[in-house]
């Protein structure tokens, strides 16, 4: 144990003393902060744009304005629904205090010309029109075609499609309203009919006793375990993904430093491997811990500042602490980490240079992308046959077992898959130690397969 | 370190190592007695490094047996060994002090002991001011010294040094020779490999010569020189028959060249005869001596005598490379 600790300590300190570690540590919170600020700034900094509609009357312009109002009302409804979910305390005198954040960024102004040629200098930015946000060029104009069958959308910037989509929805609504009126029906007819439709609320089936106390409503507490399991599986994947370079570079450094002979006259091979694996595990854990604390701190701030945020977060915390997820999660985590870790370490021991290692990175990435796809599929439909089968394939098991846990797979399956993971991990460890020895001690390289295989099965010293 | 046992620190019995069809070491038997300095000599590729790696259990032999302090090499027996590998390597980002401390701790010293020992060694070897310098910032020679100190830090009973002089300038080579003598005086057994015979001549009690994976000689320096057809050169005044004069005294002389002011003779010495004996016999025989030069016996000559010129040429090539490197380092 002492030797493992000494190897672990040296490697760990070696990694955390490097500038790259601190940069990586700072990068995620920094990018999250910058990203959030950027998103907020982008939402606020979006300019108010003017548009005009050339039509004989004001029917289409009104329809577009109505569509804007309709969309805004929907956003308002969604915000209020979220406030209900978060159980925000009602504030006296402010029933509509939850407001959709987005303000309308497209404003209709009177058309400064009666045809497209007249509008051209306004649309090209050569002339401006007066509007509520000052004088500006026209961002877009709608021109009714001569046959009246199309409302052409003209703009110098065709990449921003928001206004066009709103107009398209408005035209559909207008067509529907016109058709209803033609049939002698009120324009509210459809809405009234839809309001009378039979609702299909989601209910969670539980045992009679549980249902008595917890009710049947589907709440965040029902959905949180799936999200937590998904997060945990992705976290394991991210951790393995981020250790590749540490394990590869660390092993290459020692191989190029010709230090193995010295080390192996002081420690056993298994102690060397264990110490190195633990060090990299500790490095990535330190990163994850710091990021986790950052996220926890952010959540705590959110919970204290935003009313109701605490009630949103607590089901997730409860799910993360649930033994049903935590225990298989931890076991899968450790076994999966060791299995993947020793593979990368063994491969690193066959490389003399970073260039050589880079040639190995592609197959390693493919190996790692497969579980990522499996995670994605399992998150969408954990009960699918392909996920059930894939969860028996050892490279997928650590991720898929975690993801399946919220869906109560049979106990025998959980135990069998854990056993399979353990056996696979031991087999991989057995081979990896021999590959590592072949590379580190006997100088086998990736292109030196014969020598490597011979090294793998060479008699081991005591 | 605990008191040394009287048993041989290292015994190799008929060990063989093959890499594919190439036999790197062929049935090597070697007994390294306690408290000796033993030179392991031979050109590059003679099997020295492989033998040492087998001795330490880094690579297992295909055949034969290795006993390190009376047992198969394991971590317990290896704790009593200090090993300097041929291919030097250190963690480049560690400081000199941390490097020595780390390796000393791996050999069983406590953190405090190891740090104290690192400071002591760095001070006594003139590297005290570089204790906090990263290895990557040290000169190659300094880094090599740090590695040697890391090898000695735990006061091993048995030092195995693979080409320890390689890469050192002449001043540092002398320093290393002194260090080896100091370690020997402390009681350590030392086995070092080299292809530079002079180091062995100056340091060793005993030498083992290897060529093409086989041991070709194992014995004392005196035994080694005994393998040579030794002799002396004697110049006498022209016309004196030295052969006839020395024959009754048991010495065999042959005229080798005629010189302007006399004749040069070559005397072949038999076992038990020394150059001084030949000189004394010539004086007693009334030879008019004008010059005398005993053969200067060198280990290289022993090696040539044992393995022939072709193998010796490989040794010369290695020595030339070494000398060139030394020159480069010195300049």
Last residue of a domain, one of A133, A167, A185: A185
- The distance of A219 to chain B (nearest Cα, Å) reads 54
CB under 8 Å to B68, separation ≥6 — which residues? B9, B10, B55, B56, B57, B77, B78, B81, B158
**A332 and A376 share a domain?**
yes
Cβ-Cβ pairs closer than 8 A, A with B, add up to 79
Which residues span the domain enclosing A124? 48-84+99-185
Start-to-end CA distance of chain A, whole Å, equals 18
For an interface test with B, which of A11, A14, A255, A261 has the most B Cβ atoms less than 10 Å from its Cβ?
A261
Q: Do B105 and A6 touch (CB under 8 A)?
A: yes
Q: Do A17 and B73 touch (CB under 8 A)?
A: no
- Under the banding of pLDDT at 50, 70 and 90, the label for residue B4 is very low
Q: Do A265 and B81 touch (CB under 8 A)?
A: yes
Q: Specify if A419 maps to a domain.
A: yes
pLDDT of residue A325: 80
Average pLDDT of the residues in A7-24: 84
| Averaged pLDDT of chain B | 83
**Nearest partner of A403 among A364, A377, A435, A441, judged by Cα:** A377
Q: Specify if A406 maps to a domain.
A: yes
Q: Is B111 at the interface with chain A, CB within 8 A?
A: no
CA atoms lying within 13 Å on the CB side of residue B2? 9
Strands B81-84 and A151-155, by their bridges, are unpaired
For B85, which of A262, A442, A459 is closest by C-beta distance?
A: A262
**A449 and A343 share a domain?**
yes
pLDDT digit string, tens, across residues A190-217: 778 878 888 787 777 777 777 777 676 7
For A462, which of B72, B83, B150 is closest by C-beta distance?
A: B72
Is it the case that residue B229 has pLDDT exceeding 80? no
**A323 and A414 share a domain?**
yes
**A175 and A240 share a domain?**
no
Contacts of A449 in chain B (CB under 8 A): none
**Nearest partner of A249 among B93, B248, B108, judged by Cα:** B93
CA distance B331 to B169: 9
- Global pTM value: 0.69
- The distance of B102 to chain A (nearest Cα, Å) reads 8
**A336 and A278 share a domain?**
yes
Last residue of a domain, one of A185, A211, A233: A185
ipTM of the complex: 0.73
**Residues B118 and B68 sit within 8 Å (Cβ to Cβ):** no
CA distance A303 to A316: 13
Q: Specify if A308 maps to a domain.
A: yes
- Under the banding of pLDDT at 50, 70 and 90, the label for residue A100 is very low
| Averaged pLDDT of chain A | 80
Q: Minimal Cα distance from A438: which residue of B?
A: B59
Per CB distance under 8 Å, which residues of A are interface residues toward B?
A: 3, 6, 10, 14, 17-18, 253-254, 257-268, 441-442, 451, 454, 458-462
For A266, which of B20, B60, B106 is closest by C-beta distance?
A: B106
CA distance B43 to B28: 16
Q: Do A461 and B57 touch (CB under 8 A)?
A: yes
Residue B93 is given by DSSP the state: T
Contacts of B107 in chain A (CB under 8 A): 266
- The distance of A27 to chain B (nearest Cα, Å) reads 24
pLDDT of residue B323: 59
- The distance of A295 to chain B (nearest Cα, Å) reads 33
Q: Is B115 at the interface with chain A, CB within 8 A?
A: no
Local structure of B73: helix, strand or coil:
coil
CA distance A451 to A119: 78
Contacts of A263 in chain B (CB under 8 A): 106
- pLDDT cut 90: percent of chain B above it: 20
pLDDT of residue A102: 57
**A444 and A319 share a domain?**
yes
**A411 and A300 share a domain?**
yes
CA distance A83 to A340: 44
**CA distance readout (Å), B245 to B72, B224, B262:** 61, 31, 16
CA distance A193 to B225: 117
Strands B37-41 and B158-162, by their bridges, are unpaired
Local structure of B205: helix, strand or coil:
coil
pLDDT of residue A86: 57
Q: Is B93 at the interface with chain A, CB within 8 A?
A: yes
**A260 and A141 share a domain?**
no
- The distance of A161 to chain B (nearest Cα, Å) reads 55
**Nearest partner of B247 among B275, B278, B293, judged by Cα:** B278
Q: Which of A165-169, A178-182, A410-414, B261-265 has the lowest mean pLDDT?
A: B261-265
CB burial of A210-224 (b: ≥16 within 10 Å; e: otherwise) equals eeeeeeeeeebebbb
Dihedral angle of Cα A292, A298, A299, A305, to the nearest 10 degrees: 170
pLDDT of residue A454: 59
Q: Is B83 at the interface with chain A, CB within 8 A?
A: yes
- pLDDT cut 70: percent of chain B above it: 88
pLDDT digit string, tens, across residues B23-77: 888 898 989 888 889 988 888 788 888 899 899 888 889 999 999 998 888 888 8
For B107, which of A14, A266, A459 is closest by C-beta distance?
A: A266
Last residue of a domain, one of A168, A185, A202: A185
CA distance A387 to A373: 11
What is the sign, positive or negative, of the torsion defined by CA atoms of B294, B298, B303, B309? negative
C-alpha radius of gyration, chain A, whole number? 31
H or E element that contains A374: helix A354-380
Pick the CATH number of B10-225 from 3.40.980.10, 3.40.50.300, 2.40.30.10, 1.10.10.370: 3.40.50.300
Contacts of A461 in chain B (CB under 8 A): 57-60, 72-73
* CATH class of the domain at B229-294: alpha beta
pLDDT digit string, tens, across residues A301-312: 777 776 666 777
**Nearest partner of B149 among B174, B115, B182, B122, judged by Cα:** B122
Average pLDDT of the residues in B235-243: 87
**Domain total for chain A?**
2
Q: Do A266 and B73 touch (CB under 8 A)?
A: no
Q: Specify if A426 maps to a domain.
A: yes
**A155 and A286 share a domain?**
no
Dihedral angle of Cα A31, A36, A41, A46, to the nearest 10 degrees: 110
Is it the case that residue A293 has pLDDT exceeding 70? yes
Q: Minimal Cα distance from B151: which residue of A?
A: A262
**Residues A273 and A374 sit within 8 Å (Cβ to Cβ):** no
**Residues A337 and A281 sit within 8 Å (Cβ to Cβ):** yes
The domain segmentation of chain B, as residue ranges, is: 10-225, 229-294
Q: Do B103 and A266 touch (CB under 8 A)?
A: yes
């Amino acid at each position: 144990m002492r030797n493992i600790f000494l190897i672990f300590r040296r490697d760990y300190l070696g990694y955390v003393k490097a500038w790259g570690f601190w940069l990586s540590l700072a990068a995620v919170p920094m990018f999250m902060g910058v990203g959030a600020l950027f998103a907020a700034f982008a939402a606020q900094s979006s300019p108010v744009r003017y548009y005009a509609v050339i039509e004989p009357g004001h029917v289409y312009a009104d329809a577009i304005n109505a569509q804007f109002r309709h969309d805004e009302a929907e956003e308002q409804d969604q915000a209020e629904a979220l406030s209900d979910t978060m159980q925000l305390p009602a504030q006296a005198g402010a029933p509509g205090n939850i407001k959709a954040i987005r303000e309308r960024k497209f404003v209709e102004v009177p058309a400064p010309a009666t045809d497209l040629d007249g509008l051209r200098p306004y649309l090209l930015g050569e002339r401006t029109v007066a509007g509520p946000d000052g004088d500006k060029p026209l961002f877009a104009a709608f021109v009714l075609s001569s046959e009246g069958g199309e409302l052409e959308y003209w703009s110098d910037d065709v990449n921003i499609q928001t206004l066009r989509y709103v107009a398209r929805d408005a035209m559909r609504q207008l067509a529907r309203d016109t058709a209803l009126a033609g049939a002698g029906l009120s324009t509210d007819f459809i809405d009234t009919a839809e309001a009378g439709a039979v609702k299909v609320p989601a209910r969670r089936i539980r045992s009679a006793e549980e249902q008595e106390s917890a009710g049947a409503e589907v709440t965040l507490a029902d959905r949180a375990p799936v999200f937590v399991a998904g997060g945990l599986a992705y976290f394991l994947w991210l951790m393995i993904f981020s250790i590749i370079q540490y394990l590869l570079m660390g092993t290459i450094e020692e191989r190029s430093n010709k230090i193995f002979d010295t080390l192996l006259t002081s420690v056993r091979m298994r102690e060397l491997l264990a110490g190195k694996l633990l060090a990299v595990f500790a490095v990535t854990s330190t990163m994850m811990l710091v990021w986790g604390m950052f996220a926890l701190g952010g959540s705590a701030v959110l919970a204290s500042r935003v009313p109701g945020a605490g009630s949103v977060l607590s089901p997730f915390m409860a799910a993360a602490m649930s033994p049903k997820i935590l225990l298989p999660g931890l076991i899968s985590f450790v076994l999966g980490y060791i299995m993947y870790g020793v593979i990368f370490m063994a491969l690193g021991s066959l490389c003399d240079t970073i260039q050589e290692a880079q040639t190995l990175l592609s197959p390693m990435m493919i190996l790692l992308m497969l579980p990522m796809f499996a995670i994605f599929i399992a998150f969408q439909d954990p009960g699918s046959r392909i996920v059930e089968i894939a969860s028996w394939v050892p490279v997928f098991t650590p991720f898929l077992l975690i993801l399946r846990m919220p869906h109560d797979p049979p106990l025998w399956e959980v135990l069998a898959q854990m056993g399979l993971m353990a056996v696979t991990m031991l087999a991989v460890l057995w081979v990896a130690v021999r590959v590592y020895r072949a590379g580190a001690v006997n100088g086998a390289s990736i292109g030196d397969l014969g020598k490597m295989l011979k090294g793998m099965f060479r008699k081991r010293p005591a | 370190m605990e008191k040394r046992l009287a048993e041989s620190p290292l015994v190799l019995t008929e060990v063989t190592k093959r890499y594919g069809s190439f036999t790197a070491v062929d049935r090597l038997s070697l007994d390294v007695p306690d408290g000796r300095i033993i030179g392991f000599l031979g050109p590059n590729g003679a099997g020295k490094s492989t033998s040492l790696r087998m001795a330490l259990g880094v690579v297992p032999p295909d055949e034969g047996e290795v006993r390190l302090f009376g047992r198969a090499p394991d971590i317990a027996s290896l704790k009593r060994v200090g090993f300097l590998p041929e291919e030097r390597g250190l963690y480049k980002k560690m400081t000199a002090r941390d490097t020595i401390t780390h390796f000393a701790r791996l050999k069983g010293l406590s953190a405090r002991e190891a740090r104290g020992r690192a400071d002591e060694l760095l001070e006594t070897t003139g590297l005290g001011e570089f204790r906090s310098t990263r290895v990557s910032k040290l000169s190659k020679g300094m880094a090599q010294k740090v590695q040697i100190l890391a090898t000695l830090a735990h006061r091993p009973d048995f030092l195995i040094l693979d080409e320890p002089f390689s890469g050192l300038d002449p001043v540092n080579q002398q320093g290393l020779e002194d260090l080896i003598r100091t370690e020997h005086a402390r009681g350590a057994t030392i086995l070092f490999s080299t292809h530079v015979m002079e180091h062995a001549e100056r340091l060793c009690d005993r030498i083992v010569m290897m060529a093409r994976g086989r041991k070709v000689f194992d014995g004392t320096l005196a035994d080694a020189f005994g393998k040579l057809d030794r002799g002396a050169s004697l110049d006498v005044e022209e016309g004196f028959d030295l052969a006839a004069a020395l024959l009754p005294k048991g010495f065999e002389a042959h005229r080798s060249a005629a010189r302007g002011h006399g004749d040069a003779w070559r005397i072949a010495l038999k076992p038990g005869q020394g150059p001084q004996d030949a000189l004394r016999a010539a004086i007693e025989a009334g030879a008019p001596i004008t010059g005398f030069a005993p053969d200067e016996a060198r280990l290289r000559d022993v090696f040539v005598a044992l393995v022939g010129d072709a193998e010796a040429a490989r040794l010369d090539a290695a020595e030339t490379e070494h000398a060139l490197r030394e020159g480069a380092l010195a300049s």
